[in-house]
Amino acid sequence: MTKISLIGVSPASVSFALTTKNLTPKPIISAYSSDSKIFDQIKHLEAIDDASNNLEKVVLNSDMIVLDLSISEIKSQFEQLRHLVKNDCIITDFSHSKKRVESWAIEILPQNFCYIPARPLIKMEIPQLSDSNPQIFKGIRYCIMESEKSTKDGMEWFVKFIELLGNKPFFLDIHEHDSYTAATEILLPIVSSSIINSLSKNDSWSEMRKFVNFEFEKQTELANQDPIETEINSITASQPLIYWLDQTIKSLYEIRNSIDQNSDELLNLLIDAWEVKGKIFAGIDEDLPQHVELPSSSQSIASAMFGAKLASRMGDQGDKNLRKSWEYPR
């Protein structure tokens, strides 16, 4: 029987464990955390067969180990696992930046280990551990990359396993993955922090801060992420992150110049962004033929999705029965 060990416990890893419950035969799921009290929070879910704060016990005879750790913890974890894991064990992880982790795997793990850089593209947020849910893994893309430490047999087994879970294998290069992650995840708290810094370091901040309201809180929420974790993620993915920072600065200059020149280009830039965001909300996959049209929503539904001002304009345009949900009325 297959044994899968989870190193680190979060809503993602527990939800991953829950997705295996319907497999036949069901794999044995063991889990390690240095804080054994954390398992009390998920006991009612019956996701874990064997939970312990003894790492050696958890990984004994494991066929696959899933690391659900911050990237700052992974290197030291490799150091411990190299002496504990059986031959041909597959090791994978949920980290944001794969190139750095791959370099540690090559440096530390013995020749007979199979490291597969992989990561589920989870769309839902589950803030509480006790709310872990297998639905967050339902039908999602699962990024799979080949590494110098990957083996042919290990890759074939892993891909088949991911398909059995009902996920869609999404094959890409490590550098592609790290660039896309830098753009869609690491960049955002950096930009949010820069907005706060640019305002709070201004001489007028002591008066300006009296105007801070829920809109400001909402727009800068990502600055609340742990600064140490953001710093580590930024340094780990420094090259792709710098590229996307440069692209963001370029885009800001385009908007700044169009405002300065009172140009019609400003509206075009804002509409472009609005429509891209609309496609994301509508669940439109740009890799597929675009035949998706949604019924014209009531003002209340449209307002909830796109904001009251835009909903009002949408409601006054075109066919009242059908419209493309993401297309801005021009």
The pLDDT tens digits of the residues spanning 32-81 come to: 998 888 988 888 899 999 999 999 999 999 999 999 999 999 999 999 99
Q: Residue 324: what pLDDT?
A: 67
Whether residue 168 sits in one domain with residue 64: yes
Same domain (yes/no): 46, 157: yes
Residues 78 and 227 in one domain: no
Instruction: Looking at the structure, tell me whether residues 9 and 66 fall in a common domain.
Output: yes
With cut-offs at 50, 70 and 90, classify the pLDDT of residue 87. Answer: confident
Q: Give the C-alpha separation, 80 to 65, whole Å.
A: 13
Domain containing residue 124: 3-172
How would residue 280 be classed by pLDDT, with cut points 50, 70 and 90? confident
Paired sense of beta strands 118-120 and 114-115, if any: unpaired
Domain end marker among 154, 172, 190: 172
Note the pLDDT of residue 158: 97
- Give me the mean pLDDT over the 215-232 stretch: 92
pLDDT at residue 294, as a whole number: 36
Q: What pLDDT score does 291 carry?
A: 42
What does the CA dihedral 180, 181, 187, 188 come to, rounded to 10 degrees?
110
Stronger pLDDT, 279 or 328, i.e. the higher one = 279
Same domain, 204 and 311: no
The whole-number average pLDDT for the span 118-133 is: 88
CA dist 216 and 330 (Å) reads 29
Identify whether residues 303 and 246 lie together within a single domain: no
Q: Provide the pLDDT confidence category of residue 252 given band limits of 50, 70 and 90.
A: very high
Q: Give tens-digit pLDDT for 159-189.
A: 999 999 999 999 999 999 999 999 999 999 9
Q: What is the pLDDT of residue 100?
A: 93
**If 0-12 CB within 10 Å is exposed, 13-18 middle and 19+ buried, where does residue 46 land?**
exposed
Q: Measured between alpha carbons, how far is residue 316 from residues 42, 298, 310, 323 in Å?
A: 49, 11, 10, 12
Q: First-to-last CA distance in the chain? A: 60
Q: How many domains does the chain have?
A: 3
314 neighbors 323 (Cβ within 8 angstroms): yes
Residues 182 and 99 reside in one and the same domain: no
At position 322, the amino acid (one-letter code) is: L
More confident residue, 111 or 193: 193
Q: Is cis: bond before 240, omega within 30 of 0?
A: no
Other CB atoms within 10 A of residue 280 CB? 12
Q: What is the CATH number of the domain that holds 12?
A: 3.40.50.720
Confidence of residue 248 (pLDDT cuts 50, 70, 90): very high
Query: Does residue 295 register a pLDDT over 80?
Result: no
Whether residue 256 is predicted with pLDDT greater than 70 in this model: the reply is yes
- Are residue 139 and residue 253 in the same domain, yes or no? no
Last residue of a domain, one of 232, 262, 292: 262
Single out the residue of 101, 105, 136, 103 nearest to residue 121, CA to CA: 136
Write down the pLDDT at residue 326. Answer: 66
- In a 13 Å sphere around the CA of 164, the CA atoms on its Cβ side amount to 14
Look over the chain and give the mean of its residue pLDDT values, rounded to a whole number: 87
For residue 231, pLDDT over 90 is answered with: yes
Same-domain status, 30 and 148:
yes
Closest CA to 13 of 64, 75, 72: 64
The 3-state secondary structure of the chain reads: CCEEEEECCCHHHHHHHHHHHHCCCCCEEEEECCCHHHHHHCHHHCCCCEEECCHHHHHCCCCEEEECCCHHHHHHHHHHHCCCCCCCCEEEECCCCHHHHHHHHHHHCCCCCEECCEEECCCCCCCCHHHCCHHHHCCCEEEECCCCCCCHHHHHHHHHHHHHCCCEEEECCHHHHHHHHHHHHHHHHHHHHHHHHHHHCCCCHHHHHHHCCHHHHHHCHHHHCCHHHHHHHHHHCHHHHHHHHHHHHHHHHHHHHHHHCCCCHHHHHHHHHHHHHHHHHCCCCCCCCCCCCEECCCHHHHHHHHCHHHHHHHHCCCCCCEECCCCCCC
pTM, two decimal places: 0.81
Q: How confident is the model at residue 318 (pLDDT cuts 50, 70, 90)?
A: very low
Same domain? For 133 and 195 the reply is no
Q: Of 239, 262, 285, at which residue does a domain stop?
A: 262
